[in-house]
Amino acid sequence: MSTPALIAGLSVLGVVVVVLLLPILIACLIRFKNHFFTWGRYTLDEDLSGKLAVVTGATAGLGLEISRELARRGAHLVWGARNMNKAGKLKEAFEVEYPGCQIDILKLDLTSLSSAGKFAADVAAKFESAGVDLLFCNAGMGTKDETARTDDGYEIHFGVNYLAHFVIIDRLMKTLLKSST
């Protein structure tokens, strides 16, 4: 075989090896990284039996997924929900999915600071002795309507996503501090 033909043959072989082996090598490196390093990944699997977790906005999206994980680990859930019917149906589904799970649903409409205050007062009254271990201020909304306001006259995002949750945190602070978590 002539030298140019040999070089051409080796080049083709090289390309084939790179094309076939490179993805395998990359896949191995990713597996190695995921196995030995956990950057940015949640890895705890703590048992939450006996812990009380309050979640706002548990009826959809992230709050629903947070609630699933909490229920899976045995936490007692307290949901703050504006739609009691929707929350009730989800509670029934949770009781099938996580047998023995404990869920309390309390009315909460974050467009009203008095509703936020009442929700916090109800949680504190009902779970005073147990104490709240975890509080997920998750509920929130987004709208392009710049004129939208809460019942108290605040810009809707500020009122719902921040101010109402601030009221809840403020009123539950004592109960939260009682927790050993």
Ligand X SMILES: NC(=O)c1ccc[n+]([C@@H]2O[C@H](COP(=O)([O-])OP(=O)(O)OC[C@H]3O[C@@H](n4cnc5c(N)ncnc54)[C@H](OP(=O)(O)O)[C@@H]3O)[C@@H](O)[C@H]2O)c1
- Binding residues for ligand X, rule: CB under 6 A, are 57, 59-63, 82-83, 86, 108-111, 138-141, 160-161
Q: How far is the CB of 31 from ligand X (least distance, A)?
A: 28
Nearer to ligand X, 83 or 102 (CB): 83
Nearer to ligand X, 110 or 131 (CB): 110
Q: How far is the CB of 107 from ligand X (least distance, A)?
A: 9
Q: How far is the CB of 116 from ligand X (least distance, A)?
A: 9
Q: How far is the CB of 53 from ligand X (least distance, A)?
A: 15
Nearer to ligand X, 111 or 175 (CB): 111
Q: How far is the CB of 94 from ligand X (least distance, A)?
A: 14
Q: How far apart are CA 44 and CA 38, in angstroms?
A: 11
CB 66 within 8 A of CB 58: yes
Nearer to ligand X, 131 or 159 (CB): 159
Nearer to ligand X, 128 or 151 (CB): 151
